[in-house]
Amino acid sequence: MTSKKRTSPGYQLYELFSSMRFAIGLLTILAIASVIGTVLKQNEPYPNYAFEFGPFWFKAFELLGLYDVYHSAWFLTILAFLVTSTTLCIVRNGPGFLHEMRAYREKASDNSLAAMKHSRELDIALDEAGAITLLQQRGMRYRRRERDDGSVVLAAKKGAANKLGYFFAHIALVVICIGGLMDGNLPLKLGELFGKIVPETRDLPQSQIPAQSRLTAANLSFRGNVTVAENKSADVIFLNSGNGYLVQELPFIVTLKKFHVDYYSNGMPKLFASDIVVTDKHSGKETPATVKVNHPLIVDGVAIYQASFGDGGSPLQLRAWNLAAPQQAPVDIKGVSLAAQPLKANGKDYQLEFGELRVFNVENMGKGPDGSKSLGQRMQDAREVKQDNKQLKNVGPSITFKLRDSQGQAREFQQYMSPMQQDGAMYQIAGVRSEVSQPFQYLRIPLDDDMKIDSFMRLRAALNNPAWYQEMAQRTADKALQGKAISPAMKQQFADSVRWVLGRFSAGGFAALEQFLDEKVPADKRQAIAQTYIKILQGAIVDVMAVAQDKAGLKPWPQDEKHYRFLLDSLVTVSSFNDYVAPVYLELTGFDQVQASGLQMTRSPGKNLVYLGSLLLVIGIILMFYIREVRMWLVLRPGRVRVAMSSNRHNHDLDRDFAQIVATPQGGGGEA
Amino acid sequence: MEMTLQQPFYKRLAAGDWLFAALIIAAAGYSFSLYGSAMDYYEQLILAGSSVSLIALGWFWKSWRWFFPLAGAMSLLAIQLYDHDLARAGQSFGLKFLLSSQTAFMWMCTLFYLATVVYWGGLIARSALLARIGSGLTWSAAAFALSGLFTRWYESYLIAPDVGRIPVSNLYEVFILFCLITALMYLYYEAKFATRQLGAFVLLVISAAVGFILWYTFDRQAHQIQPLIPALQSWWMKIHVPANFVGYGAFSLSAMLGVAQLLARRGILADKLPKPEVIDEMMYKAISVGFLFFTIATILGAMWAADAWGGYWSWDPKETWALIVWLNYAAWLHVRLVKGWRGEPLAWWAVIGLLVTTFAFIGVNMFLTGLHSYGSL
Ligand code: HEM
């Protein structure tokens, strides 16, 4: 190579790119760049980022590609540099290394041999045959050269595969990166850059998505998801792309027959599996199969994975209780989860939007780690062999729904179907919230002997019926008189108070009574009067129920502790219903579960290249680390032998080998 | 000139080696005769593969020839004492005070702490005897760790047949694996380089892990055996996780050697420690073994991910941090082997490498979320 060429800018660039310095720099930069994507959650919906960072930083980070670091142009550029640098490194070092692998260096001069770190001249007689045996016993190959002065040089070596390791490992990296690139979304990015592909950001039915957001089945590599309900099919998947998504056509149709979940006895999930049938679009050939987590199905080069599961739109049966007109009998209505339907209540129009039906709600009922345990107890626990103590319990099916009024305002409700036991009594649980970001607030509706809410609703209706107050108050007053809690003179006044308290309570619950106290009663008397009101309510509620049962033609409400507790619980719940704010109370009474399975599908033609590269990499590293390249020279002269050794790794092992070889029975008669 | 004959490999094997091989083959054959009919193709392959690797390990490292049978015998005894009944953990004296997995792990913790103290005593007092006792304690701790893991494997099947699984699938279990592997690797180098002074340093990092195990057990009750969630039900896990921990163990080992080397180079304890060059060499050896296993582990992880998540590389935080660790040590090896660096800068780099590795190991689980589902704190 001429010196002119060596100073040309092109050559200098080549030198820089293939230099170790540059490679180390790249490795470091790549490592640091990779950190970013682990700190910032990747590929979240864009509104989440906008909310988190505010408008300015949201835009700035978007420009920098921080929401999908590993596919951003600058990250791919670093990778490209690394591939280039490694390739150039191989080009630059390759020829030299190959030459070295073949060479024996039998022409080494006495001076250079003497200058080696491991070199010594021994005063012993060693004939050529003996020397050759020595080399062969060490598994070394050698080349013989006779010098002009009559001395014989035996130049030997072993472990040339060490250098081969360099080729394996570094070519492997290039292979892996090419494989990765084939499976990356570079073609999509380019398509987007030139405007040929435009991600869809609206929430459209699949069939209406325009062609510019669709990818044909010929697309070489993709990775996307689709959710299929039982007995439904899909022939496309959706790929995330920045702020939107793309539709990828599949060469086949996937039909979900059935989705299975299994649980361990402690409630942890054990199996997720989908029974599917794949029908080829051209040949019509059907392939039935079951895909499970860790056991994908591969059809036509597309791998189908079990990724998630959920509700697929299940028919629901509900009972609607008109809350504004509690005397009305409940009405049975039908619905479908994940769908919306109109609802008319008290002359107003609402939209009823069902959320997900969840058939299993596994909750941790355990108390968690107990901070109050003594050290001794903990020591005892630590030695015990047992299954984890999480009390996972299935509390049964639930449905969420939103009720949206004509102004578009919505409240969200959650309804559990199965009775739940709490503090020894049975309840139906209903949640409500006005904003998605808030937690649900729960009502517990006490259940009667038939495990129904009907008795509670009857009680509530009676409490809301002023026409019956006279009769209720009369009964309460009679009872009070009998029990000598009041004098006959006070009876009328007492009955009036009962009526007033019932009216006030039914209008606004405990809060209404409290408000009255705050407004009308001096602070020092409030406590005592509040106590009186509570007492009156607790007494009167028995008569409210009695009247309610009477009017409905039912047998009297039993007078025992359990049924009295029901009445007290009902008071609390009636009061809380004021915060429920809904025209109807929807009770979930039945459903036919239709499940859906989230399938991920990928086509990754680069995978085999990546695996090949990985294999080469491991072989390469093993060769480089564990095959020691050793060279040895024996210069034979009558009565004297020079032994010189070298290795591309200067370590301990070479020192030891050298010492072993030059150890002589006479106690080392040589000098360097 | 002595013509030391370098004998072919098989001729260098002593009677002990053949005995060990026979033992392993007999044990594998016996297991096969018992369970062969219940094993699928992969499991038979794994049985054959692990027998071969165990024999290879025993031939390569002589101490393995007694260590492995000892730990095996301890767990077989435990299994005998259990007699198919988990409740016997609290009744049988041998299980309650010695061999049930939790008791074995508590012994492991105690012995590692004792070993740390004794090694330091030996280092400061320059006592060869204390250092030897330190080694002995470390060996015993390792024996309890390995037999405890085997026993725990059996116990998981006693809880319920469908709960049974290899104990390398949550943070608690892999910490024990970490202690075991780091200790064994150190013991190997200790014998190979004929130096016992470095135990004082290496045992520090093991002690830290033991501290974590104790906290995790007492405060979080993490030692309870949980069944495997679907994502972890894969035979890739059985090889991916242990391979990873050879990597983590080796990198931690090299970092502690880095600390020792830095002190020695500054004249602190210099008269008591081996020569810095020797420590340097050990450090390089440890990193090269770690790098090889970490590479294999990452590749296995990618193959598993291809089965479980639908892609061999998803840039999940744990994956990405594995890549960062790998790039870090690749750079380390390059500057040493190509640029010829030695000594202090590389020792510092190995110490910093421990921070990166630790973050990849537990930091990711603590601070970042991702697809890797086991063991969040
Ligand atoms: C991701 C990038 C790279 C990785 C992971 C990597 C990995 C390795 C590994 C593991 C070794 C073995 C060290 C040993 O012999 O013990 C090695 C050696 C080497 N690497 Fe790289 N390498 C990379 C890029 C490069 C680049 C870009 C160059 C060019 C400057 C390069 C030049 C070398 C050289 C010259 C050796 C020593 C070969 C020998 O002496 O046997 N490497 N590399």
pLDDT in tens, B268-286: 888 889 999 999 999 999 9
Q: What is the pLDDT of residues B187-203, one digit of tens each?
A: 999 999 989 999 999 99
With CA atoms as reference, report the closest residue to A456 among A326, A346, A290. Answer: A326
The percentage of residues in chain B with a pLDDT greater than 90, rounded to a whole number, is 63
Distance A166 CA to ligand 1 centre (A): 7
- CA atoms of A246 and A114, how far apart (whole Å): 71
- CA atoms of B161 and A87, how far apart (whole Å): 53
Whether A124 and B218 lie within 8 Å, measured CB to CB: no
Mean pLDDT of the A174-185 span: 88
3-class DSSP state for residue A494?
helix
- Residue B326 CA: nearest ligand 1 atom is 5
What is the per-residue pLDDT for A234? 94
Whether A20 and B338 lie within 8 Å, measured CB to CB: yes
What is the per-residue pLDDT for A3? 53
What is the per-residue pLDDT for A668? 38
What is the per-residue pLDDT for A386? 59
Q: Chain B residues with CB inside 8 Å of A379's CB?
A: 218
Nearest chain B alpha carbon to A22: B331
Tell how strand A214-215 and strand A244-263 pair up. Answer: parallel
Q: Which residue from B298, B334, B346 has its CB within 8 A of the most atoms of ligand 1, so it is best to mutate?
A: B334
- CA atoms of A599 and A260, how far apart (whole Å): 14
Q: Is A651 on the interface with B (CB under 8 A)?
A: yes
Whether A383 and B155 lie within 8 Å, measured CB to CB: no
What is the per-residue pLDDT for A1? 44
What is the per-residue pLDDT for B274? 92
- For residue B86 and ligand 1, the question of a CB distance below 6 A is answered with no
With CA atoms as reference, report the closest residue to B199 among B148, B270, B274. Answer: B274
Q: Is B218 on the interface with A (CB under 8 A)?
A: yes
Residue A441 in this model has a pLDDT that exceeds 70: yes
- CA atoms of A445 and A572, how far apart (whole Å): 9
Q: What is the pLDDT of residues B114-149, one digit of tens each?
A: 999 999 999 999 999 999 999 999 999 999 999 999
Q: Which of A55-59, A254-258, A664-668, B263-267 has the lowest mean pLDDT?
A: A664-668
Closest-CA residue, ligand 1 atom 30, reads: A20
Average pLDDT, chain A: 88
Closest-CA residue, ligand 1 atom 43, reads: B334
- For residue A31 and ligand 1, the question of a CB distance below 6 A is answered with no
Whether B327 and A268 lie within 8 Å, measured CB to CB: no
Q: Chain A residues with CB inside 8 Å of B93's CB?
A: none
Question: Chain A closest CA to B336's CA: distance in Å?
Answer: 10
Whether B219 and A611 lie within 8 Å, measured CB to CB: no
Whether A601 and B302 lie within 8 Å, measured CB to CB: no
- SS3 labels along chain B: CCCCCCCCHHHHCCHHHHHHHHHHHHHHHHHHHHHHHHCCHHHHHHHHHHHHHHHHHHHHCCCHHHHHHHHHHHHHHHHHHHCCCCCHHHHCHHHHHHHCHHHHHHHHHHHHHHHHHHHHHHHHHCCHHHHHHHHHHHHHHHHHHHHHHHHHHHHHHHHCCCCCCCCCCCHHHHHHHHHHHHHHHHHHHHHHCCCCCCHHHHHHHHHHHHHHHHHHHHHHCCCCECCCCHHHCCHHHHHHHHHHHHHHHHHHHHHHHHHHHHHHHCCCCCCCCCCHHHHHHHHHHHHHHHHHHHHHHHHHHHHHHHHHCCCCCCCCHHHHHHHHHHHHHHHHHHHHHCCCCCCHHHHHHHHHHHHHHHHHHHHHHHHCCCCCCCCCC
Q: Chain A residues with CB inside 8 Å of B331's CB?
A: 24, 27-28
Q: Is A223 on the interface with B (CB under 8 A)?
A: yes
Q: Is B79 on the interface with A (CB under 8 A)?
A: no
How many Cβ pairs within 8 Å bridge chains A and B?
A: 178
Q: Chain B residues with CB inside 8 Å of A292's CB?
A: 230
Whether A662 and B288 lie within 8 Å, measured CB to CB: no
Residue A246 in this model has a pLDDT that exceeds 70: yes
Residue A190 in this model has a pLDDT that exceeds 70: yes
Name the band, by pLDDT with cuts 50, 70 and 90, for residue B377: very low
Name the band, by pLDDT with cuts 50, 70 and 90, for residue A615: very high
Half-sphere exposure of B18 (CA within 13 A, CB side): 6
Residue A641 in this model has a pLDDT that exceeds 70: yes
Residue A669 in this model has a pLDDT that exceeds 60: no
Residue A378 in this model has a pLDDT that exceeds 70: no
Name the band, by pLDDT with cuts 50, 70 and 90, for residue A643: very high
Residue A2 in this model has a pLDDT that exceeds 60: no
What is the per-residue pLDDT for A666? 36
Q: Which of A212-216, A634-638, B9-13, B160-164 has the lowest mean pLDDT?
A: B9-13
- CA atoms of B168 and B177, how far apart (whole Å): 8
Residue B92 in this model has a pLDDT that exceeds 70: yes
ipTM for the predicted complex: 0.91
- Residue pair A211/A247 in contact (Cβ under 8 Å)? The answer is no
Q: Chain B residues with CB inside 8 Å of A610's CB?
A: 302, 312-313
With CA atoms as reference, report the closest residue to A530 among A552, A548, A515. Answer: A515
- For residue A599 and ligand 1, the question of a CB distance below 6 A is answered with no
Residue A232 in this model has a pLDDT that exceeds 90: yes
DSSP H/E element including A667: none
Q: Which of A315-324, A612-621, B182-191, B232-241 has the lowest mean pLDDT?
A: B232-241
Q: What is the pLDDT of residues A304-359, one digit of tens each?
A: 999 888 898 999 999 999 998 888 899 999 999 999 999 998 889 999 999 999 98
Residue B1 in this model has a pLDDT that exceeds 50: no
Q: List the single best residue of A29, A385, A616 to mutate versus B (max B Cβ within 10 A).
A: A385
Distance A625 CA to ligand 1 centre (A): 11
Whether A665 and B2 lie within 8 Å, measured CB to CB: yes
Q: Is A125 on the interface with B (CB under 8 A)?
A: no
Q: Is A126 on the interface with B (CB under 8 A)?
A: yes
What are the angstrom distances between the C-alpha of A109 and each of A102, A113, A638, A646, B117? 19, 6, 18, 15, 56
Name the band, by pLDDT with cuts 50, 70 and 90, for residue B151: very high
Nearest chain B alpha carbon to A604: B311
- For residue A626 and ligand 1, the question of a CB distance below 6 A is answered with no
Q: What is the pLDDT of residues A259-289, one digit of tens each?
A: 998 888 877 889 999 999 999 999 999 999 9
Residue B6 in this model has a pLDDT that exceeds 70: no
Name the band, by pLDDT with cuts 50, 70 and 90, for residue A665: very low
Closest-CA residue, ligand 1 atom 35, reads: B338
Name the band, by pLDDT with cuts 50, 70 and 90, for residue A403: very high
Distance A94 CA to ligand 1 centre (A): 12
Sequence-distant (≥ 6) Cβ neighbours of residue A198 within 8 angstroms: A192, A210, A212, A213
What is the per-residue pLDDT for B232? 85
Q: Which of A180-189, B259-268, B345-354 has the lowest mean pLDDT?
A: A180-189
Residue B354 in this model has a pLDDT that exceeds 80: yes
Mean pLDDT of the A75-101 span: 91
Write the Ramachandran bin of A214: left for phi over 0, alpha for psi from -120 to 50, otherwise beta: beta
Q: Is A134 on the interface with B (CB under 8 A)?
A: yes
Token digits of residue A234: 């899909």
Alpha-carbon dihedral of residues A142, A144, A145, A150, nearest 10 degrees?
130
Mean pLDDT of the A428-449 span: 91
What is the per-residue pLDDT for A390? 55
Question: Chain B closest CA to A70's CA: distance in Å?
Answer: 7
The percentage of residues in chain A with a pLDDT greater than 70, rounded to a whole number, is 93
Name the band, by pLDDT with cuts 50, 70 and 90, for residue B8: low
Distance A72 CA to ligand 1 centre (A): 27
Average pLDDT, chain B: 90
